[in-house]
A and B are shown apart, each in its own frame.
Chain A
Amino acid sequence: MNPSAGSPLPNSQRSRTIRSPFRSQAERHFAGRFGLALFLISLGALFAATLIAFLVLRIQAGASWPTSLPAVPWLLWVSTVVLIVGSGTIQAAVTSALRDRQSLAIALVAITGLLGVLFIVLQAIAWMQWRDAVTMLWNEPGVPRVAAGGFYVLTGIHAVHVLGGLVAILVVLLMAVRAGVDKMSSSMIRGCASYWHFLDLVWIILLLTMVLAF
């Protein structure tokens, strides 16, 4: 095959061409969802490993686990509700994007973003509440440090992933505002929605684990 047989692009356009290996836009979006699913499986393995590490230490601690450990801050229940409502709004954004109700979709994505920010703020306040409650335990000899510190690790790793989701939402929002809700951004909103549901699921498992283990 002679590569110069086809009509090659002029040099000036070459660096700018975006080439998709897919035959159609639909296939490209399907592959995107497939890739996201793999990524969520990978993150699932990450959270599962974190949880296993925590549970192993919790079980090994046995009787040395402090009885004076406070319950998780009540604020976490509020942030749980905020996160789940966010799942609802982003799912509604998916639906309205499919029905081509553009401004509604954009508004719902924006609301989800704000709920995400609110979630982070609530988590930060809960961290401070927790710090006040466990200061004494942190340096107490014989008490497993993971009793006081595990809270930060579990909520912290989840919060980092919420922050990552907020970046994605911001990107989608900018794209949708600039170019309208087209096939591309609509597909990305779907991706954000899947990711948000995943964060919900992970959070509920983490919260229940903490409630039961502490």
Chain B
Amino acid sequence: MTTIPVPPSQPVTPELARDNYLTYTRGIWSWLFTLDHKRIGVMYLCGVLSMFFVGGIFALLVRTQLLTPEGAVFNDNANYNRAFTLHGAIMVFLVIIPSVPAALGNFVLPIMLGAKDVAFPRLNLFSFWLWMAGAVFFILVLVNVDGGLDTGWTFYTPYSTTDGMAFGGVLWAVIGVFILGFSSIFTGMNFIVTIHRLRPPGMTWFRMPLFLWALYATALIQVLATPVLGITVALLFMERLFGMGFFNPALGGDPVLYQHFFWFYSHPAVYIMILPAMGIISELISVHSHKHIFGYRFIAFSSIAIAVFGFLVWGHHMFTSGQSQLINVIFSAITFSVSIPSAIKVFNWLATLYRGSISLNTPMLYALGFIVIFAIGGLTGLHLGTLATDIHLHDTYFVVAHFHYVMMGSALIAMIGGMHHWWPKMTGRMYNENWGRFGFALVFIGFNVTFFTQFALGSQGMPRRYATYNGMVLTDLYHLYHVISTIGSYILALGFFVTAGYLLHSIFAGKRAPDNPWGGRSLEWQCTSPPPHDNFKEAPTVGDCYDYSVLEWDESQQGYKWREDIERPGNPHVSGKDGHA
């Protein structure tokens, strides 16, 4: 009896799907005028990351300036003001707000729904062009048109409206903000209609992936709050240009009115930033611990609860602006209540992790990092929501540290985690996992060294927005903390450069990505990597998108596939035992 030598099984790297959305048509115009949500998402991502680079440069300038008490970079303090203003305005309006909904949301949302595209593809392209137009205005400010912008990202009156106090760039910047606002409104409208009308058969509201719940709650805020920002900056524009006197007490106006209007948008805007980030974390935690999400309904409803509460807390930005004591107490109390739905999410994520089989992939590391950072950021919010402590901490580095923990450490880190999670789907390539973990370590350590120090700095009374801090009682102490913080920011920057390096490298030389590298159940893992132009030929029916028991690891593909001992329902896209429901 002869034995037939069995050839050693070779790992077969999956072919890069030849006909995918990246190769569908060619040329720059086919991108700029595309109606394909995936391409629009990728363009947003490129734009957002470019602006992130610009905003990051300004952050490093600001940190370097503070290395010495006399200021190490800028001779003119106005230039320091310009630097931190541009850092803030670019990061908020051009990076964090569009990062998850517009960039990742555009790419993922229709595929998660098994839909061909968003409800209004043309409007989607229009949103993207509005974003580009808004960015152009900020670039004008960047090159110091009319003296640039030095008001801080909040454009507080009277700085912003008085000639000689602020530079004329404020006019250009608010036009940019106005346009970006409408970009955001249209994206929100598009997502709401898409989620309502394009869910596939079988996907009830409570079978949607939680990322979609988060995007839905975000879109509600975008549609309802952003117009208020639009009118606020329009009034600011008229005030500065024609002297309309809305915010100038000498002309019968009220500067605190501006603050009310600004924060009526900008506090909900904080939830435009954090809600979709939380949605990403819900996906990441569940997929990478291969365990059904715990407390689905609680996470879903807490998204909506946060969106609703988010509208009722804006006054906590103004405890020291001269509101009545009664209003202060009310806003303080409602502010505390926001921590309830936020904590519900955190506890549900922890419960999901409990006894899961956790894969410490790079996206999962970012998700775990998010939980740590968000917990610190959220809990320090309570110090600021408390009236007595806020009087001491207001306008100190404590506030700076708090909102960086939430906006950057939470929202942006979740966005980067999500980007790693969907990177194989977007590009069809795998990045180097070891470099990914190394990059995460640098980012996580750098972030905490930079900003945890600032809690100490702020609690000792170092005011924010100061270009120099020599001659103060505690100058020596402040100097020590500032040096530590600046070193942390360099580590953080290095982490981002490492990340950019291996991601770019993966596009050209990365391994081909399998369809389902992480073992996800939501629908985007059922189309090829990268997806074809039309995503799905027909709307798929859907099962439980957090039931991972039907998947198994396939060594030959280096990815997950449907378990062979479980019958897969007839439609190739139907997944899940309950897919017929």
A residues apposed to B, CB below 8 Å: 1-4, 6, 8, 11, 14-15, 18-23, 27, 30-32, 34-35, 38-39, 41-43, 45-46, 49-50, 53, 56-57, 60-61, 64, 143-147, 149, 153, 157
Chain A residue nearest to B232 in the complex (CB): A49
Does B242 sit at the interface, judged by CB under 8 A? yes
Shortest distance between the CB of B176 and any CB in chain A (Å)? 18
Tell me the bound Cα distance from A30 to B196 in angstroms.
Answer: 11
**Number of B residues, CB within 8 Å of A:** 63
Closest 7 CB pairs of A and B: A144-B252, A145-B245, A3-B532, A46-B227, A21-B116, A145-B251, A21-B117
CA distance A34 to B230 in the complex (A): 22
B45 in the interface (beta carbon within 8 A): no
The residue in chain A whose Cβ has the minimal distance to the Cβ of B536 is A1
**Most chain A CB neighbours (cut-off 10 Å) among B20, B194, B251:** B251
Interchain CB contact (< 8 A) of A146 among B19, B35, B253 = B253
* B7 interfacial by beta-carbon distance below 8 Å: no
Point out the residues of chain B lying under 8 angstroms from A19, CB to CB. 35, 116-117, 121, 534
Whether B190 sits at the interface, judged by CB under 8 Å, is yes
B246 on the interface (CB 8 Å rule)?
yes
Instruction: Check if B245 sits within 8 Å of A149, measured CB to CB.
Output: yes
* B231 lies within 8 A of A50 (CB): yes
Please indicate the chain B residues that have their CB under 8 angstroms from the CB of A157 in the complex: 231, 234
Residue of A nearest to B242 (CB): A149
Nearest chain A residue, comparing its CB with the CB of B244: A149
A14 to B121, CA, bound (A): 16
Interface flag for B333 (CB, 8 Å): no
CB distance from A203 to the nearest CB of B (A): 17
Closest chain A residue to B573, Cβ basis:
A1
Interchain CB contact under 8 A, A1 and B528? yes
A21-B119, A146-B245 as given contacts; A53 in contact with B257, CB under 8 Å = yes
Encoded as 1 (CB less than 8 Å from any A CB) or 0, chain B from 520 to 542 comes to 00000011100111100101000
**B337 interfacial by beta-carbon distance below 8 Å:** no
Asked whether A1 and B197 contact (CB < 8 A) given A42-B226, A149-B242, the answer is: no
Q: Are B224 and A41 in contact (CB under 8 A)?
A: yes
Q: Residues 161-173 of chain B: 1 if any A CB is under 8 Å from the residue's CB, otherwise 0?
A: 0000000000000
Q: How far is the CA of A35 from the CA of B118 in the complex (A)?
A: 12
B139 at the binding interface (Cβ < 8 Å): no
Residues from chain A with Cβ under 8 Å of B537 in the complex = 1, 6
The answer to whether B19 and A21 touch across the interface, beta carbons within 8 angstroms, is no
Chain B: CB-nearest residue to A58:
B252
What is the total of A-B residue contacts with beta carbons within 8 Å? 141
Q: Kindly identify which residue among B25, B223, B264, B572 contacts A38, using a CB–CB cutoff of 8 Å.
A: B223
Instruction: Decide: A49 and B253 in contact? CB cutoff 8 A.
Output: no
CA–CA, A146 and B188, complex, Å: 33
Closest A residue to B185 using CB positions: A42
Across-interface contacts of A23 in B (CB, < 8 A): 539
Is there an interface contact between A30 and B227, defined as CB atoms closer than 8 Å? Answer: no
CB distance from B180 to the nearest CB of A (A): 15
Establish whether residues A53 and B235, one from each chain, have CB atoms under 8 Å apart when the complex forms.
yes
* Interchain nearest-CB distance for B158 vs A (Å): 14
Please, how many angstroms separate the alpha-carbon atoms of A167 and B232 in the complex?
A: 25
CB < 8 Å neighbour of A18 from B18, B35, B227, B238: B35
Question: Are the CB atoms of B189 and A53 closer together than 8 Å?
Answer: no
Residues of B within 8 A of A61 (CB): 252
Q: Report yes or no: A14 in contact with B25, Cβ–Cβ below 8 A.
A: yes
CA distance A3 to B532 in the complex (A): 6
- In the complex, residue of chain A having the shortest beta-carbon distance to the beta carbon of B186: A39
- Residue of B24, B246, B528 ringed by the most chain A CB atoms within 10 A: B246
Cα-based distance from A57 to B251 in the complex (angstroms) = 11
A63 to chain B, nearest CB (A): 12
- Which residues of chain B come closer than 8 Å to A53, judged between CB atoms? 231, 235, 246, 257, 261
Tell yes or no: B145 within 8 A of A by CB. no
Q: Does B30 contact A (CB under 8 A)?
A: yes
> Which of A14, A34, A143 is the one whose CB lies under 8 Å from B197?
A34
A64 and B252 in contact (CB under 8 A), knowing A1-B573, A8-B19, A19-B117? Answer: yes
A21 and B121 form a contact (CB under 8 A) = yes
- Give the CA-CA distance A135 to B573 in the complex, in Å: 70
Contacts of A147 in B (CB 8 A): 252
- Alpha-carbon separation in the docked complex, A53 to B259 (Å): 12
Chain B residue nearest to A50 (CB atoms) is B231
Chain A hits for B18, CB < 8 A? 3-4
Taking the closest CB of chain A, its distance from the CB of B109, in whole angstroms, is 11
Cβ-defined contact, A144 with B257, below 8 A: no
* Cβ-closest chain B residue relative to A39: B189
B16-63 contacts to A (CB < 8 Å)? 17-20, 24-25, 30, 35
A64 to B252, CA, bound (A): 9
Tell me whether B224 and A144 are in contact (CB under 8 A). no
Known interface pairs A15-B30, A21-B121, A45-B224. Does A143 touch B252 (Cβ–Cβ under 8 Å)?
yes
Please tell me if B110 contacts chain A, counting CB pairs below 8 Å.
yes
Closest to B30 in A: A15
Contact for B251 among A38, A46, A60, A144, CB less than 8 A:
A144
Q: Count chain B CB atoms within 10 A of each CB in A23, A42, A61 and give the residue with the most.
A: A42
A34 to B197, CA, bound (A): 9
Contacts of A143 in B (CB 8 A): 252
- Name B238's closest neighbour in chain A (CB-CB): A153
Inter-chain CA distance A145–B235, complex, in Å, is: 13
A78 to B24, CA, bound (A): 56
A57 near B254 (CB under 8 angstroms)?
yes
CB of B120, distance to nearest CB on chain A (Å) = 6
Contact between chains at A38 and B528 (CB < 8 Å): no
Within residues 245 to 273 of chain B, which ones have a CB less than 8 A from any CB in chain A?
245-246, 248, 251-254, 257, 261, 264
Rounded to whole angstroms, the CA-CA distance of A81 and B437 in the bound complex is 68
Please state if B19 and A3 are interface contacts (CB–CB under 8 Å).
yes
Q: How far is the CA of A8 from the CA of B120 in the complex (A)?
A: 23
Assuming A21-B115, A46-B230, is B35 touching A35 (CB within 8 A)?
no
Q: How far is the CA of A43 from the CA of B226 in the complex (A)?
A: 10
| Given A30-B197, A35-B193, A42-B227 contact (CB < 8 Å) | yes
Complex interface: chain B residues within 8 A of A27 (CB): 197
A31 neighbours in B (Cβ, 8 Å):
119-120, 193, 197
Q: Is the CB of B244 within 8 A of A46?
A: no
* Bound form: Cα–Cα A14–B526 in Å: 24
19 A-B contact pairs sorted by A residue (CB < 8 Å): A14-B25, A20-B116, A21-B198, A34-B196, A38-B193, A39-B185, A39-B189, A41-B224, A43-B227, A45-B228, A49-B227, A49-B228, A49-B232, A53-B257, A56-B257, A57-B254, A64-B252, A144-B252, A145-B243
**Residue B192 interfacial (CB < 8 Å):** yes
CA distance A39 to B188 in the complex (A): 10
Could you tell me the distance in whole angstroms from the C-beta of B401 to the nearest C-beta in chain A? 32
A1, A39, A61, A146 pick with most chain B CB within 10 angstroms: A1
Give the distance in Å from the alpha carbon of A157 to the alpha carbon of B531 in the complex: 44
